[in-house]
Amino acid sequence: MNVNAHSAQDKTRLARALGERARAASRSLGAAPTAQKDRALESLARRLREGHRPILEANAADLDQGKAQGLSEALLDRLMLDEKRLEAVADAVLQVRALPDPIGEVTSTWRRPNGLTVQKVRIPLGVILMIYEARPNVTVDAAALCLKSGNAVILRGGKEALQTNLALHRVVAAALGDAGLAPEGAQLVQTPDREVMLALLQLDELIDLAIPRGGEGLIRFVAQNARVPVIKHYKGVCHVYVHAAADPRKALEITVNAKAQRPGVCNAAECLLIDRAAIGTLPAIARGLIERKVELRCDPAALAALQQEGLPAVPASPEDWGREFLDRILAVRVVEGLDEAMEHIARYGSLHTEAIVTQDLSAAARFTREVVASAVMVNASTRFNDGGELGLGAEIGISTSKLHAFGPMGLAELTAQRFVVVGDGQVRG
Amino acid sequence: MNVNAHSAQDKTRLARALGERARAASRSLGAAPTAQKDRALESLARRLREGHRPILEANAADLDQGKAQGLSEALLDRLMLDEKRLEAVADAVLQVRALPDPIGEVTSTWRRPNGLTVQKVRIPLGVILMIYEARPNVTVDAAALCLKSGNAVILRGGKEALQTNLALHRVVAAALGDAGLAPEGAQLVQTPDREVMLALLQLDELIDLAIPRGGEGLIRFVAQNARVPVIKHYKGVCHVYVHAAADPRKALEITVNAKAQRPGVCNAAECLLIDRAAIGTLPAIARGLIERKVELRCDPAALAALQQEGLPAVPASPEDWGREFLDRILAVRVVEGLDEAMEHIARYGSLHTEAIVTQDLSAAARFTREVVASAVMVNASTRFNDGGELGLGAEIGISTSKLHAFGPMGLAELTAQRFVVVGDGQVRG
């Protein structure tokens, strides 16, 4: 591939070449036996472990350049690989290897009155375009998940991680080759500018799905410019709703865990809604959060309740509702009951994860029936909306689009289901 | 709604108003009990039967205008309603009523080691934009399927059928009202020009899915201009492949049925591939087709075989491969075996329906494993790729997109699946 391609036409040509090679590779990958795919995954894990030197050198170069360009500490941390992190990446590959192969799975079978047998059978989607930002582990995670599910993948990582991604991709391509699979099954876009990505997003005859993961700006750009289907992995504005009939201890533990266990991720809570009837439990919850260094941005009723107890809190501004802080900040609002809580969630939620804390069966039933979100939790932390935690195995992301996949996307969500009909000469009358 | 809206801005405003009303209606529809939705369907069927007069008058007006504008006989036939056809439309509504409600269905349940119970539960997609052409029965069919699955629908039919659609839509809205449901659950676009459709296709925050059904031009326009997700219902270029080990009688019956039972539909066959080793069976198949007035467009080998028997056939032109004739025309090609047949299908097929006729288990297994199409048939006619024939109940169309739904789309395909997690205070460690 010519990494010096400059003109728009060159970039369109480059994108098309990537798409066509991926399409060709997807045919053989889609038909590859499980054992062959698993051999490639074993080889990938081994090569990551044995060949960490050039990967870490490439990563050091990216980090140096990033520092020189003044990238934030948070971004540099996401970009950074060390032996321990690389070991975790190799472990994740072996976990994918251990999952059952979804391809060929018969998800249901039935017989028609005319004797036809109908099956629904999983096949790969075909070619997946993975668009992501600084985290280089996504290069390997996405390649492993796509490989196991028989899909070809085009990896388009952020330019900050280009050297690292090139080194990781060499390992992925070599592992495919070790197992006798086409190395074009996983290609890396070596010119990570927006023009090549834009050209790729037009190739609806070669690419079956684009999965953008990253900041809101990137996802919006992809969604607005794609002709290929897109599954969005958007922000998580998750709420914990403490109902009047909540168990106070569960309310405390769940709220603190949802906000503070890992504040920078999409399934962390950003807003606490609490029934006026349960406001007596707010000071204890607030103490738990304040101990974990969480700032509370409160509506007037919550603010008054906390100030009365001498607890620190600040007034919420209107923009704090529906905001993804990704930080040790929580918006707090007192509501009059279930209806007001569900209205708040319908207005400000992002379809990601919503939790209710209650001992009341009817309230839990209405909440789980009426709240639209990829995961609705009863008496459990929002942090459980995760492929591993829910038992799906590894995930390629958490979809906040309702179509095709809603919530964590594991191997099954990287497949389509086709009808296979077996007859004995039946014709339609 | 102001049907005299003229400026682009007016049309954007009109589209947004439709979208917002649909979104609001979708909330109550999504939570409506099965009995209430079924009452609306019963009322719809009754109103169609009792109130056919104004519908047929409106249809007569559309037909008069269509004749004056010189619409083709085929188009006029698709547009035409009479008492019998209206009766069939009402019957279809009652069939949808009789199907199980997909909403709330728990498709799987499991328990995690930490005691969390995880369920996948069906919810409506939300708001569906149905875009179609002349057939007015789609107005009622789509409204009934969306209603049963708890979705709000925006119906955008062709301008040729506007008077009929307005009359049908009045009945639909009244039936929703009869059952105490918001009439905005099914809205009709009363200005069927491309600008309003284009504006609707941009509303990705209000509309969850667009389903275009109709000619290739319409579908391409929708796919290229939509920001909302689209499930394409594209053309059907279906093949029947007669393998060397085919039973000659099954080969004959399946080919004739696939082509001639109803030549103008998307699951009719457009091309016969026949193994050179089975060429002895071609004349009998050809006779069966010729009796049903099918023209055969043949490659040189097939042509020679038929001419030797004195059977009429014409040479195929290169454009005849991959062509959707929708008519009593069949392309015929002799292939050297399974690989060549599958290559032809990969190149010229449209992912719709592909059939093999063979008594050989290994050939059938490879064909069903490797051919990518929404339905793959073994010893059965392509005409069985249909929601009713496969046992899904009514269908809103046949998807040739792999994402979300592939093949006939029934009620289940008009839903999303959400995770519902029930715990007893679990937090993540």
- pTM to 2 decimals? 0.91
Residues 397-426 of chain A with CB under 8 A from chain B are: 401-404, 406-408, 416-426
Which of B107, B413, B421 is the best residue to mutate to test the A interface, defined by the most A CB atoms within 10 Å of its own CB?
B421
Please spell the DSSP secondary structure of B47-107, one letter per residue: HHHHTHHHHHHHHHHHHHHHHHTT--HHHHHHH---HHHHHHHHHHHHHHHHSPP-TT-EE
Of B209, B229, B419, the CB nearest to A375: B419
The interface predicted TM-score (ipTM) is 0.91
Q: Measured at the alpha carbon of residue B398, what is the angle toward residues B396 and B403, in degrees to the nearest 5?
A: 105
Q: Is A106 on the interface with B (CB under 8 A)?
A: no
Residue of chain B whose alpha carbon sits nearest to that of A128:
B403
Q: Is B126 on the interface with A (CB under 8 A)?
A: yes
Predicted pLDDT of residue A344: 98
Q: State how far residue B136 is from chain A, nearest Cα, in angstroms.
A: 25
Predicted pLDDT of residue A6: 63
Q: Which amino acid is at B418?
A: R
Predicted pLDDT of residue A5: 47
Q: State how far residue B281 is from chain A, nearest Cα, in angstroms.
A: 16
Q: Do A384 and B223 touch (CB under 8 A)?
A: no
- Which is nearest to A426 in space by CA: A111, A109, A104, A119? A111
A-chain residues within 8 Å CB-CB of B30? Answer: 370, 372
The answer to whether A118 and A111 have CB atoms below 8 angstroms apart is yes
Which of A103, A110, A116 is the best residue to mutate to test the B interface, defined by the most B CB atoms within 10 Å of its own CB?
A116
Q: What is the CATH number of domain A238-390?
A: 3.40.309.10
Predicted pLDDT of residue B75: 87
Q: Do B346 and A380 touch (CB under 8 A)?
A: no
Q: State how far residue A297 is from chain B, nearest Cα, in angstroms.
A: 23
Q: Where are the alpha helices (DSSP H) in A51-136?
A: 52-68, 73-79, 83-98
Q: Is B115 on the interface with A (CB under 8 A)?
A: no
Residues 250-279 of chain A with CB under 8 A from chain B are: 250, 253-254, 256-258, 261
| H helix and E strand count, chain B | 15, 16
What is the pLDDT of chain A when averaged over all its residues? 95
Q: State how far residue B4 is from chain A, nearest Cα, in angstroms.
A: 30
Q: Is A387 on the interface with B (CB under 8 A)?
A: no
* CATH architecture of structural domain A8-234+405-421: 3-Layer(aba) Sandwich (3.40)
Using DSSP's 3-state secondary structure scheme, residue A424 falls into: strand
Q: Do B376 and A254 touch (CB under 8 A)?
A: no
Q: Do A391 and B229 touch (CB under 8 A)?
A: no
Burial class (CB in 10 A: 0-12, 13-18, 19+), B283: middle
Q: What contacts B362, CB < 8 A, 6 or more positions away?
A: none
- For chain B, the domains span 9-234+405-421, 238-390
Predicted pLDDT of residue B251: 98
Q: Is A374 on the interface with B (CB under 8 A)?
A: yes
Low-confidence ranges of chain B (pLDDT < 70): 1-6
B-chain residues within 8 Å CB-CB of A417? Answer: 406
Q: Do A247 and B425 touch (CB under 8 A)?
A: yes
Residues 209-238 of chain A with CB under 8 A from chain B are: 209, 223-224, 227, 229-231
Q: Does domain B9-234+405-421 have CATH number 3.40.50.300?
A: no
Please spell the DSSP secondary structure of B254-289, one letter per residue: HHHHHHHSSTTSTTSEEEEEEEGGGGGGHHHHHHHH
Predicted pLDDT of residue B6: 63
Q: What contacts B32, CB < 8 A, 6 or more positions away?
A: B150, B181
Predicted pLDDT of residue A399: 94
- Which is nearest to A389 in space by CA: B168, B419, B386? B419
d(CA B125, CA B138): 19
Of B250, B383, B419, the CB nearest to A428: B383
Predicted pLDDT of residue B1: 44
The answer to whether B181 and B28 have CB atoms below 8 angstroms apart is yes
A-chain residues within 8 Å CB-CB of B417? Answer: 406
Q: Is B123 on the interface with A (CB under 8 A)?
A: yes
Predicted pLDDT of residue A1: 44
Low-confidence ranges of chain A (pLDDT < 70): 1-6
Residues 17-76 of chain B with CB under 8 A from chain A are: 27, 30-31
Predicted pLDDT of residue B5: 47
Q: Is B249 on the interface with A (CB under 8 A)?
A: yes
Q: Do A390 and B227 touch (CB under 8 A)?
A: no
Of B112, B121, B402, the CB nearest to A416: B402
The answer to whether A183 and A56 have CB atoms below 8 angstroms apart is no
- Which is nearest to B428 in space by CA: A236, A377, A89, A372? A377
